[in-house]
């Protein structure tokens, strides 16, 4: 995008709330049942059936509202949003229009500067309202045309709408990271975009920098990962900037993201946009929640990511960035804290989790939530061996892989394989002499003041000792020997 334009982004996030039953009937809300098994007259919209609000869904929705600093509405009302589509059995969706569960909150996001420090930005939350999910149409892999599965119809959804406060794809990405963290800490949703328990529509417009009015917005749908949201917004900003540059009018429309092509394309234009003819749901009366109940709920909220972030910085003395990365994923933060409880040095634990452990998990396509082979106690054990000099960091990198594959403790592996670090000065001196003799040019470079050349010699000693030497000791021995050989 040329510098003269600024992008304006607002996100609409739908999350499936984790309740036992659906939002307006007692059908199970579980995923994975046989098609149309979890249905009843209410969620199939049969005449004469009446919806009853699931209190648990309301409670989870209010928890999210409170965690986002929203105001819980004095009166809460449901409305019918009318449109015709085969996945919607009643031809209207029960949603909320002008009296949502909560509104006017904010979400803090952390943005990394070029210098690596974090800066906080507050994004306004317009509202968070409850609604029911629709069914699912199956077009592929089925006999004769399209089929419909209404198991998902009536699953409780919370729609969280942001103000148009986001200014870049990266900000939108961080908004999703922060929002997901809060939802996970509250335990209200699985937040899995691939499985559809979290869905995000992005509204994007651009304007002349500094110009007050917003440009015409385009809504993008169909992204199935946070990365895809980032890419789709970046694509859309570029497309709109190019349109403005060539004098093409940007039309208000809904576009779909095509992941394999890396493009958005028109789904429907504003002209075809629905008039939803919202009107109050007559079968559910408006109601209020007492301030006592709201306060009790507020008190019941668990420690939230921002508070945990502050605590991690203070309690463990790790950097802002490290604290942020750990806290953003609840399971990661839990694993880290479990390691420290097992006596691991917090800084080392943070480093080892974020580098070696996460790399291993990604490689094996596992999840930090489920690591039976590497319990926190074992990682803490490995860190202890590094800290007390029993093994070098280099050896530890091999040991962690072995631990991961065998479920053995670090101590066991180190003992079995004889990996204990060589700190025998006499032996190291012998190897150092040999290495210096074999590499006179490099030694001369070190002597002439090119200090970093010593790295090569350290590497050679490491190689001869199969990585078991203590690098700090080798460095000292080599330096001493070379500088004394004037
Ligand atoms: P609509 O009535 O089309 O659904 P809303 O006013 O409800 O529009 O806003 C929907 C989303 O679009 C919100 O997240 C809001 O922040 C965002 N939004 C509104 N105007 C713009 C704009 N000009 N550019 C980008 N996003 C916008
Ligand atoms: Mg809207
Ligand atoms: Zn039902």
Which ligand gives the minimal distance to the CA of 237?
1
Domain endpoint, select from 261, 295, 329? 295
Q: What are residue 232's phi and psi, to 5 degrees?
A: -65, -40
Question: CA-to-CA distance for 259 and 221, rounded, in angstroms?
Answer: 11
Q: Tell me: do 209 and 335 sit in the same domain.
A: no
- Given strand 92-95, what is the order of strands in its sheet? 92-95, 79-82, 279-280
Residue 278 lies in a domain: yes
Let me know: does 335 contact 368? Beta carbons within 8 Å.
yes
Report if pTM > 0.95: no
Ligand 1 test: best mutation among 6, 7, 10, 125, most atoms within 8 Å of CB?
Answer: 10
Ligand 1 pocket mutation, candidates 9, 217, 237, criterion most atoms within 8 A of CB? 217
- Domain identity same for 383 and 454: no
Say if residue 106 is in the same domain as residue 218: yes
Answer yes or no: is 126 within a domain: yes
Same domain for 286 and 253 = yes
Neighbours of 149 (CB within 10 A): 18
Return all residues near 93 (Cβ < 8 A) that are at least 6 apart. Answer: 80, 81, 83, 131, 132, 134
**From the alpha carbon of 205, which atom of ligand 1 is closest?**
24
Ligand 1 center–CA 166 separation, angstroms: 11
Residue of 7, 159, 203 to mutate, ligand 1, most atoms within 8 A of C-beta: 203
Identify the nearest ligand to the CA of 21 by its number: 3
Whether residues 27 and 153 share a domain: the answer is yes
pLDDT of residue 271: 62
Residue 357 lies in a domain: yes
Residue 25 has what pLDDT? Answer: 98
What is the position in ligand 1's atom list of the atom closest to the CA of 203?
Answer: 26
* Ligand 1 closest atom vs CA 252: 3
| Residues 219 and 315 grouped into a single domain | no
- Distance between CA atoms of residues 21 and 53, nearest Å: 11
Beta bridge partners of 156: 132
Helix axes 454-464, 440-447, angle to 10 degrees: 140
Instruction: Name the closest-CA residue to atom 17, ligand 1.
Output: 10
In a domain, residue 239? The reply is yes
User: Which residues sit with Cβ closer than 5 angstroms to ligand 3, an ion?
Assistant: 25, 27, 40, 42-43
- Please give the distance, rounded to the nearest whole angstrom, from the Cα atom of residue 49 to the centre of ligand 3: 10
291 and 324 both lie in a single domain: no
**CA-based nearest residue to 326, from 140, 97, 110:** 110
**Which atom belonging to ligand 1 lies closest to the Cα atom of 216?**
23
Tokens representing 281 are 């749901």
Which of residues 295, 318, 344 is at a domain's end? Answer: 295
Overall domain count for the chain? 3
Tell which atom from ligand 1 comes closest to the C-alpha of 219: 12
Per-residue pLDDT in tens (0 to 9) along the chain, 486 residues:
567 889 999 999 999 999 999 999 999 999 889 999 999 999 999 999 999 999 999 999 999 999 999 999 999 999 999 999 999 999 999 999 999 999 999 999 999 888 878 999 999 999 999 999 999 999 988 888 999 999 999 999 999 999 999 999 999 999 999 999 999 999 999 999 988 999 999 999 999 888 779 999 999 999 999 999 999 999 999 999 999 999 999 999 999 999 999 999 998 776 666 789 999 999 999 999 999 999 999 999 999 999 999 999 999 999 999 999 999 999 999 999 999 999 999 999 999 999 999 999 999 899 898 898 899 999 999 999 999 888 888 889 999 999 999 999 999 998 888 777 777 788 889 999 999 999 999 999 988 888 888 999 999 998 888 887 888 888 989 999 988 875
In angstroms, what is the span from residue 159 Cα to ligand 2's centroid? 10
- Give the position, in ligand 1's atom list, of the atom nearest the Cα of 11: 14
CA 205–ligand 2 middle distance (angstroms): 15
Residues 194 and 271 reside in one and the same domain: yes
Last residue of a domain, one of 247, 270, 295: 295
Q: Taking a C-beta distance cutoff of 8 angstroms, is the pair 353, 328 a contact? A: no
Residues 258 and 236 in one domain: yes
216 alpha carbon, closest ligand: 1
Residue 374, classed as helix, strand or coil, is coil
Other C-beta atoms lying within 10 Å of the C-beta of residue 9: 26
Report the SS3 class of residue 153: coil
CA 135 from chain centre, in angstroms, equals 27
Centre of ligand 3 from the C-alpha of residue 42, in Å: 5
Asked if 158 and 265 sit in the same domain, the reply is yes
Reference 196, options 146, 237, 135, 239; nearest CA is 135
CATH number for the domain spanning 456: value is: 1.10.10.410
65 and 105 co-located in one domain: yes
Compute how many other C-beta atoms are within 10 angstroms of the C-beta atom of residue 165. 20
Look at residue 198 in the predicted model and tell me its pLDDT: 97
Give residue 451's pLDDT. Answer: 80
- Looking from the CA of residue 162, the nearest atom of ligand 1 is 14
Q: Which residues have CB under 6 Å of ligand 1? A: 8-12, 161-164, 203-205, 214, 217
Give the C-alpha separation, 169 to 172, whole Å. Answer: 5
Using the mean position of ligand 1's atoms as its centre, give its distance from the Cα of residue 10 in Å: 6
- How far, in Å, is the centroid of ligand 3 from the Cα of 84? 20
DSSP H helical ranges for 266-357: 291-299, 305-316, 320-328, 330-341, 346-352
Unique residue bearing structure tokens 């408006």: 286
Q: Are 91 and 83 in contact (CB under 8 A)?
A: yes
Question: What pLDDT, on the 0 to 100 scale, is given for residue 473?
Answer: 85
Residue 2 pLDDT? 61
Indicate which residue's Cα is closest to atom 22 of ligand 1. 217
Q: Which atom of ligand 1 is found nearest the CA of 165?
A: 16
Q: Phi and psi of 9, rounded to 5°? A: -135, 135
Q: Domain check: are 162 and 75 in the same one?
A: yes
Is 390 a member of any domain? yes
- Is residue 244, in this structure, part of any structural domain at all? yes
CA 19 to centroid of ligand 3, rounded, Å: 13
Quote the domain boundaries for residue 364.
Answer: 305-417
Q: Within a domain: residue 250?
A: yes
Q: Is residue 300 part of a domain?
A: no
Residue 415, token pair as written in the block = 């003992």
Ligand 1 centroid, distance to 423 Cα (angstroms): 65
Token digits for 316? 């463990």
Residue 52 has which token pair?
């009853």
């Amino acid at each position: 995008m040329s510098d003269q334009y600024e992008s304006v982004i607002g996100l609409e996030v739908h999350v499936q709330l984790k309740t036992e039953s659906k939002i307006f009937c007692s059908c199970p809300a579980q995923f994975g049942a046989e098609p149309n098994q979890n249905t009843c007259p209410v969620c199939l919209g049969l005449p004469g059936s009446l919806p009853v609000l699931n209190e648990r869904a309301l409670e989870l929705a209010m928890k999210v509202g409170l965690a986002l600093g929203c105001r819980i509405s004095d009166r809460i009302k449901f409305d019918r949003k009318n449109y015709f589509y085969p996945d919607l059995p009643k031809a209207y969706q029960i949603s909320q229009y002008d009296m949502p569960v909560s509104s006017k909150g904010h979400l803090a996001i952390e943005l990394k500067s070029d210098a690596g420090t974090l800066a906080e930005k507050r994004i306004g939350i317009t509202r968070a309202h409850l609604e029911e999910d629709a069914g699912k149409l199956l077009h592929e892999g089925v006999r004769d045309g399209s089929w419909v599965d209404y198991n998902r119809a009536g699953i409780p959804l919370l729609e969280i709408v942001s103000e148009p406060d986001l200014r870049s794809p990266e900000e939108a990405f961080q908004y999703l990271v922060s929002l997901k963290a809060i939802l996970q800490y509250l335990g209200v949703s699985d937040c899995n975009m691939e499985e559809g328990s979290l869905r995000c529509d992005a509204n994007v417009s651009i304007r002349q920098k500094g110009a007050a009015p917003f440009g015409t917005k385009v809504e993008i749908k169909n992204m199935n990962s946070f990365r895809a949201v980032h890419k789709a917004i970046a694509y859309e900003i570029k497309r709109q900037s190019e349109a403005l540059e060539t004098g093409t009018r940007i039309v208000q429309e809904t576009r779909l993201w095509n992941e394999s092509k890396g493009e958005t394309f028109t789904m429907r234009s504003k002209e075809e946009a629905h008039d939803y003819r919202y009107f109050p749901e007559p079968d559910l009366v408006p109601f209020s929640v007492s301030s006592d109940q709201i306060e009790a709920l507020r008190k019941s909220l668990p420690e939230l990511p921002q508070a945990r972030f502050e605590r991690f910085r203070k309690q463990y003395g790790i950097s802002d960035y490290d604290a942020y990365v750990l806290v953003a994923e609840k399971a990661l933060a839990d694993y880290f804290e479990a390691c420290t409880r097992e006596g691991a040095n917090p800084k080392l634990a943070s480093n080892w989790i974020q580098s070696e452990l996460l790399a291993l998990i990604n490689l094996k396509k596992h999840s930090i939530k489920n690591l039976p082979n590497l319990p926190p106690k074992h990682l803490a054990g490995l860190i202890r061996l590094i800290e007390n000099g029993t093994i070098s960091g280099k050896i530890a990198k091999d040991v962690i892989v072995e631990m991961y594959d065998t479920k053995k403790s670090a101590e066991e592996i180190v003992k079995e394989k004889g990996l204990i670090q060589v700190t025998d000065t006499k032996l190291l001196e012998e190897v150092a002499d040999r290495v210096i003799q074999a590499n006179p040019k490099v030694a001369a470079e070190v002597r002439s003041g090119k200090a970093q050349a010593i790295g090569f010699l350290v590497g050679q000693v490491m190689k001869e000792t199969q990585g078991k030497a203590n690098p700090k000791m080798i460095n000292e021995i080599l330096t001493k020997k070379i500088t004394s050989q004037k």
